[in-house]
A and B are shown apart, each in its own frame.
Chain A
Amino acid sequence: MSRPLRVLIAKPGLDGHDRGAKVIARALRDAGMEVIYTGLRQTPEMIVSAALQEDVDVIGLSILSGAHNVIVPRVMKLIAESGMEEVKVMVGGIIPDADIPALKEMGVAAIFQPGTSMDEIVKLIRGQ
């Protein structure tokens, strides 16, 4: 039997709105995944190093502050530099439609906008 999926849920930037990150962390755990939640105010360096140490399959970034266009490229660059291309990066939060193509272009696997159901996120992470 394969090991459970390991997911890092991270809150980059200065924003303290962690309701979404916590709800998702719990939903993924209830769905049988192993979840590591970083807590608040993580720099891209801290996130990627935690992902490496924890040997995760997926990184979920929760960003509500509008800083995604600055933070996500940095995370993606560090992931590439660490040779972790197989790790899927997903972004959830307030991401306007207009920003989605650029985020996909840099390799973000999925973007979850407000109103996405927990079930949908679980299915996507499992690759269903």
Chain B
Amino acid sequence: MYQGRLWTMRQFSGFGTPEETNRRYRFLLQQGQTGLSVAFDLPTLMGYDAGDGMAAGEVGKCGVAISSLADMEMLFEGIPLERISTSMTISSPAAMLWAMYLVVAEKQGAPWDSLAGTIQNDILKEYIAQKEYIYPPRPSMRLVVDTFEFGSQHTPKFNTISISGYHIREAGSTALQELAFTLRDGIEYVQWGLERGLDLDDFAPRLSFFFDAHNDFFEEIAKFRAARKIWAYVMRDRFGAQAERSWKLRFHAQTAGCTLTAQQPRVNLVRTTLQALAAVLGGCQSLHTNALDEAWALPTEEAALLALRTQQVIAHESGVAGTPDPLGGSYYLEQLTGDLEKGAYEYFDRIEALGGMIPAIECGFPMREIAEASYRYQQQIERGERIIVGVNGFQSEDEPIEILRIDRQVEAQQVTRVRKLRAERSNERVDRALGDLARAAEGERNLMPHLLEAVRAYATLGEMCGTLKKVFGVYQEAVVT
């Protein structure tokens, strides 16, 4: 698998202001990281600007705060977008953040067709698990397909979606549910792309995937193998894709954040190493290894560096990277792979019977399955049927670790910055761009060119998302417990 080149070492990172995060990126690149991965804060994920009432207390906390092109320019200051691939973990406002990235590239003089990277853009998993949705499913899917279409014309090296099981798993699903729901989401995206009239072999090779690397070592490897196998059959036999590139499932993996313990946090380094090894043996194309302090906070620089070193040891010292699918043929692993494959097809049938993934989401089917599984898992821990070292077994006094704290000043600073931007830009140009965006949204035109124009005029994220909220409405989920 890695004979041509190693996987991309892509550490998910972002906190505080764009300047602080820019410094962390330069540090990680200096230390041998090979791709960037942007973590946005919750207001950005939800399409709110710093200063919006809903954003109070959350600016810069779980990621970097980006409210406009001005912030995005600072985030990538001194980083040549032509030469580095960037993944952006953003879904509901993915089209807006991607437009900002494209305009930063434009300003750097980097041609769009040279840009490599990924936008997460997986709105279905938001409804299912991560819950950072804004609009109802159908207009959200339109935005996603707009990016597919735009990408297939302008950014041939950019993955316009990362179909994600990670958040489904972190919300408490089993490995099988993660596999099945993610691939069924993939099928839904392909169907929507085809309905738009896109050429399958044009957009299918730009679909990428993202899985969790959890604790159960062999089951995880089997899950990655099963995913590749199922996707190849789905693309070739169900959709009739001609190009081999369309059959290939390429995936990013991240070690499982939900398995990290607040107790004896240094032990997390061991958990992460085992999970990362499973991802590599399972053939990931890029990998994030969690830092040992992440049950408590975003990682300190020291913890982030240890996490990166973990991958480097696996890549360069362990010798596991030299053979494609090294566990293929093991009776146990082949059995596990086959079982997961069969289980996934059974879930596909149940979802088809509900009318596809969107009706399944609307009736709460995947959410109920996940809630059941997560409760079962917790009960196993409570009863001692499943031992978590340091939590319900082998407890000992913890030695405290240093954790990263986000300065309260960050929020004030970002709020001032947005206010200043609004005072300095041409508000007339912004209004015109937002008006065009609203009209395009009411019709059927691709929204990407309109978003790009709004971004160039320095319209804020909140203004763009707010404009579309007026046309599309907002989504309220039926609560499932």
Taking Cβ atoms with an 8 Å cutoff, the residues of A that contact B are: 13-19, 22-23, 25-27, 37-41, 43, 65-67, 69-71, 94, 96-97, 113-115, 117-119
Task: Report which of A14, A22, A27, A94 forms a contact with B296, defined as CB distance below 8 A.
Answer: A94
Most buried by A among B295, B297, B378: B378
Q: Do the beta carbons of A14 and B374 come within 8 Å of each other?
A: no
Note all chain B residues with C-beta closer than 8 A to A70.
56-58
Task: Report which of A14, A71, A115, A117 forms a contact with B43, defined as CB distance below 8 A.
Answer: A14
Q: Do the beta carbons of A66 and B375 come within 8 Å of each other?
A: no
Q: Is the interface of A mostly helix, strand, loop or mixed?
A: loop
Taking Cβ atoms with an 8 Å cutoff, the residues of B that contact A are: 42-43, 45-46, 48, 54-58, 61-62, 126, 130-132, 170-172, 258, 261-263, 295-297, 371, 374-375, 378, 381-382, 388, 390-392, 400, 403, 405-406, 477, 479-481
Are A13 and B391 also in contact (CB < 8 A) when A23-B375, A118-B378 are? no
Are A96 and B296 also in contact (CB < 8 A) when A22-B371, A115-B262 are? yes
Q: How many contacts between A and B, using CB within 8 angstroms?
A: 97
Given contacts A16-B131, A66-B61, 15 further A-B pairs with CB under 8 A are A13-B58, A14-B42, A14-B43, A14-B46, A17-B131, A25-B481, A27-B378, A43-B54, A66-B58, A66-B62, A67-B57, A67-B58, A96-B297, A115-B261, A117-B381
Are A96 and B403 also in contact (CB < 8 A) when A114-B261, A117-B382 are? yes
CA distance A25 to B45 in the complex (A): 26
Note all chain A residues with C-beta closer than 8 A to B262.
94, 113-115
Q: Do the beta carbons of A40 and B382 come within 8 Å of each other?
A: no
- Which 3 pairs across A and B sit closest by C-beta, in order of nearness? A16-B131, A70-B57, A67-B57
Note all chain A residues with C-beta closer than 8 A to B371.
22, 26
Note all chain B residues with C-beta closer than 8 A to A41.
54
- What is the CB-to-nearest-CB distance from A28 to chain B, in angstroms, rounded to a whole number? 11
Give me 22 A-to-B residue pairs in the complex whose CB atoms sit less than 8 angstroms apart, sorted by A's number.
A14-B45, A14-B46, A14-B55, A16-B132, A17-B130, A18-B131, A19-B170, A19-B258, A22-B480, A23-B374, A23-B375, A37-B479, A65-B58, A65-B62, A67-B57, A69-B57, A71-B57, A114-B261, A115-B388, A115-B391, A117-B392, A119-B382
Task: Report which of A14, A16, A96, A114 forms a contact with B48, defined as CB distance below 8 A.
Answer: A14
CA distance A39 to B131 in the complex (A): 11
- What is the CB-to-nearest-CB distance from A33 to chain B, in angstroms, rounded to a whole number? 13
Q: Do the beta carbons of B130 and A16 come within 8 Å of each other?
A: yes
Task: Report which of A37, A113, A118 forms a contact with B481, defined as CB distance below 8 A.
Answer: A37
CA distance A70 to B412 in the complex (A): 13
User: Nearest residue in A to B53 (C-beta to C-beta)?
Assistant: A43
Task: Report which of B61, B130, B374 forms a contact with A22, defined as CB distance below 8 A.
Answer: B374
CA distance A96 to B403 in the complex (A): 9
User: Nearest residue in A to B294 (C-beta to C-beta)?
Assistant: A94
- What is the CB-to-nearest-CB distance from A59 to chain B, in angstroms, rounded to a whole number? 16
CA distance A65 to B477 in the complex (A): 21
Note all chain A residues with C-beta closer than 8 A to B296.
94, 96
User: Nearest residue in B to A69 (C-beta to C-beta)?
Assistant: B57
Note all chain B residues with C-beta closer than 8 A to A115.
261-263, 388, 390-391
CA distance A56 to B274 in the complex (A): 45
Q: Do the beta carbons of A13 and B171 come within 8 Å of each other?
A: no
Note all chain B residues with C-beta closer than 8 A to A17.
130-131, 170-171
User: Nearest residue in B to A66 (C-beta to C-beta)?
Assistant: B61
Note all chain A residues with C-beta closer than 8 A to B172.
19, 23
- What is the CB-to-nearest-CB distance from A12 to chain B, in angstroms, rounded to a whole number? 9
- What is the CB-to-nearest-CB distance from B186 to chain A, in angstroms, rounded to a whole number? 21
Q: Do the beta carbons of A14 and B295 come within 8 Å of each other?
A: no
User: Nearest residue in B to A73 (C-beta to C-beta)?
Assistant: B57
Note all chain B residues with C-beta closer than 8 A to A19.
170-172, 258, 374
